[in-house]
Structure 1
Amino acid sequence: MSTAGPAEGKPMRIVVVNNFFPPRVGGSAHMSASLAAEYAAAGNEVLAITAAYGDAPAEEERDGYRVVRLPAVKMPQLGLSIDFDMTFASMRPGNWRRLWKLLNEFKPDAVHLHGQFFDLSWMVGIYARRHKLPVLLTIHTLLISENKMYGRVFRALDAMLVNPVLKYLRPRFIILDKQGVDYCVDRYRTSDDNSEYFPIAVDTGHFAKPVTKDVRAELEIGDAPLIVSLGHVIPLRDRLPLVEALPAILERHPGLRVVVVGRVYHDAFQQRAEELGVSDALIVTGAVPKADVPAYFAAADIVTHDLNGGCGTASLEAMLSGTATIASVTEDNYPGIELHNGENILLVRPNDSEAVATTVLSLLDDPKERARIAEREASMVRDNFGLDVVADEHLRVLTKLVADS
């Protein structure tokens, strides 16, 4: 873990806030928890505030910092494609009082919010604004949709609710990629004056551990070619380009299997697989514990998750693990990080099933080239997205914000 940053001067009291937090799985949950651990390892006192989830304890100590989970109300599942397993703390009586008391006792120097439309971000952000505390806000999820109706609803939500709240909170934005930059400039009028451009943080240590199980044996795949697609299935990551590429791939590799790992909130890919007659190639596992993720990547010949226009945590972790990984961003996706298609990353155009099929077939037909690109992807992620590297950048900004406040 990192030991640089504020540990060189006066330690800080940092509050990390995210409605999504372990044991819930997901990119923003893991990133916020990992950064909290790095902040603590650097000598700072850290309090993580999140919403209650499942059987997770209301309070615990983990990785050198304290976690408090406030009672929350779960959003009902309405059968819409935008349904997601979200919980809201502001709707539970007494939570505002509980939160204010908790923060008054902790006496934070700075706040790091994760998620611009979560109620805990707003609640803690309001506290920070009233107490003149510096605030970082990481934008993890963009309120966009290819569905025109949902897209209009999301844009209205941003304009009428999210943007006015952010104007009041006045955070310093942490934006993860070019798509996020374009989105935040359009929706929230961000600029270089109020933003930092740090990539997703990937915990390199997590993938240095031995794998927990033999996925091929458990799923009875044997030595068949295997594609793993890991991450929750939502409209923005719908797996349709992969499914629509399968007929061409299976024609050359009829024994190939695709393991989809993650909770299915949007099942259009399964319906499309039925239409194309490729359902037998799919294995859908549902969500798995974080500790098992490296085992799925280790079992795969190829990983492909982000084919609708992205390269998120799951894809970066797959690259780090040493498995050839396909994503769908442009080479300038991460400000300050050089991506070179075919050298240190494999890129296809968003929603291009033909490109997916061509790339998958070329990798399956040339194991040596597949190993070469996998090694270069791992090195690129380690050098630019490693948790220690990204955490040091966050701590540098937090230190300056506290010093200037």
Structure 2
Amino acid sequence: MATSIKTLREQLESLGNNVYIFTTTDPKVDKNVFERNVFRFASLPFISFTDRRIAVRGLFQAYEIAKELNLDIVHTQTEFSMGIIGKFVAKNLKVPCVHTYHTMYEDYLHYVMKGKFLKPVHVKQLSKTYCEHMAGIVAPSTRVSDTLTSYDIKEPISVIPTGVDVRKFAGTKNNELRQKYNISAETPLMLTLSRVAFEKDIDRLIDAFPEIQKRVPNVNLMICGDGPARQSLMQQVAQMNLSDKVIFTGEVDHDDVPAYYHMADLFVSTSISESQGLTFVEALAAGLKVVAASSPYTDDLLDNKNVGFAFDTPVQFVSQVVDYLNEPAKYNDESYRQEKIASISAENFGEQIMQFYQDSFTSFEETTTSRSRESI
């Protein structure tokens, strides 16, 4: 989500807009550090998601700041505290409020009291309530759009995948970083990069690795990131005697991420819970092919083997990974990749969001006029 917001801000500002970010305090950010056009509100870690934070005050303070800034539109990025504050500010300023629905909460219910407290029906009710009266909603993928429709949300929904700054990921293979992990330049390297959480299904990737090893004997797997599943996955790797072939990097600084893509030969994911798969897009921009689980999103993104492959079964996954690793020059029609990169670029993303804002202004005006007539 943070990457998406950062990209959105950069693109909107490049198009001549003033962007102000209202967010929570962050223990990783020094209070004395100046952050241009960023306003932070006191917060506490969220239960079960300690890396997420909830604002504990700031409702009227946010309104006063927003009023002084003379905002034209409010774009919320979370359904919780700052999202509620955003709706309050927009309503009182009488400006449109739009929302990006980032998280498929049904995939995360097990984090809250082991799934015994919140059920899918609660997610539906809460999502529908929050999205009510929005002038427009951004769904980063068809999967998100279909889910919101199934929640009986009537507000206008636009499918706009998050773009990436292609220039940040352009580059060639990075053998210097391989040296840090004692990986030779000739060693085939599979990379997966994400929050290391149980819903990412990385255990399925590890389970499939021995079969890939049989056909690509010197292959390595790098699991890049950190999260609650890391210890469990490391135990799995140890029990399967794969510790010399599977590398856990831990958390990587955002600015260093492109270099990790550039050291790999192939990006892989066995997650079946991706709503937008931003790492897939980054991998493509970095020149990697991607093998990921089939979904409406990946089927559209990886629609040609020159960019990647969306698999349905473990057998398909292993087969395509082996094909890519053993014959790296087999699918190298650059025209497909360039066309795909153009469609996922940050510039294209910014232009689509600007059009979305214009449509939302129209929707807001029509709804406001309709309500005024009903009150007469």
Calculate the TM-score normalised by the size of structure 2: 0.85
Please name the residue that 1:18 is paired with: none
2:183 partner SS: coil
Please name the residue that 2:255 is paired with: 291
Please name the residue that 1:98 is paired with: 61
Q: Do structure 1's residue 86 and structure 2's residue 52 form an aligned pair?
A: yes
Deviation at 1:213, TM superposition (A): 8.3
Please name the residue that 2:357 is paired with: 398
CA contact (8 A) 1:260 1:282 kept: yes
Please name the residue that 2:242 is paired with: 278
**1:4-31, CA deviations, whole angstroms, 9 ceiling, x for partnerless residues?**
xxxxxxxxxxxxxxxxxxxxxxxx1111
Alpha-carbon RMSD: 2.8
Q: For 1:57 and 1:125, how far apart are their aligned partners in 2?
A: 28
Structure 1 spans left out of the alignment, 5+ residues: 1-27, 78-82
Q: For 2:339 and 2:33, how far apart are their aligned partners in 1?
A: 35
Q: For 2:340 and 2:26, how far apart are their aligned partners in 1?
A: 31
Q: For 2:95 and 2:189, how far apart are their aligned partners in 1?
A: 49
Please name the residue that 1:162 is paired with: 127
Give the residue type in structure 2 aligned to 1:260.
I
Identity %: 19
Q: For 1:313 and 1:333, how far apart are their aligned partners in 2?
A: 11
Q: Do structure 1's residue 72 and structure 2's residue 37 form an aligned pair?
A: no
Deviation at 1:150, TM superposition (A): 2.7
Equivalent residue for 2:281, pick from 302, 316, 330: 316
Please name the residue that 1:356 is paired with: 317
Q: For 1:275 and 1:175, how far apart are their aligned partners in 2?
A: 40
Deviation at 1:340, TM superposition (A): 2.1
CA contact (8 A) 1:84 1:265 kept: no
Q: For 1:70 and 1:126, how far apart are their aligned partners in 2?
A: 15
Please name the residue that 2:145 is paired with: 181
Give the residue type in structure 1 aligned to 2:323.
S
Please name the residue that 1:325 is paired with: 290
Please name the residue that 1:385 is paired with: 344
Written as runs of structure 1 = structure 2, the 5 A alignment for 1:193-342 is: 194-208=156-170, 214-223=176-185, 224-267=187-230, 268-305=232-269, 307-310=271-274, 312-330=277-295, 332-333=296-297, 339-342=302-305
**1:30-56, CA deviations, whole angstroms, 9 ceiling, x for partnerless residues?**
111111121112111110111122332
Deviation at 1:210, TM superposition (A): 8.0
1:182 partner SS: helix
Q: Relative to 1, partners in 2 of residues 1:247 and 1:70: Cα closer, same or farther, differing over 3 Å?
A: same
Structure 2 spans left out of the alignment, 5+ residues: 366-376
Q: For 2:214 and 2:261, how far apart are their aligned partners in 1?
A: 24
* Mean Cα deviation higher: 151-160 or 271-280: 151-160
Deviation at 1:355, TM superposition (A): 2.4
Q: For 1:194 and 1:130, how far apart are their aligned partners in 2?
A: 22
Kindly name which structure, 1 or 2, has the bigger radius of gyration based on alpha carbons: 2
Deviation at 1:400, TM superposition (A): 3.9
Q: Relative to 1, partners in 2 of residues 1:134 and 1:212: Cα closer, same or farther, differing over 3 Å?
A: farther
Give the residue type in structure 2 aligned to 1:51.
T
Give the residue type in structure 2 aligned to 1:290.
H
Deviation at 1:132, TM superposition (A): 2.4
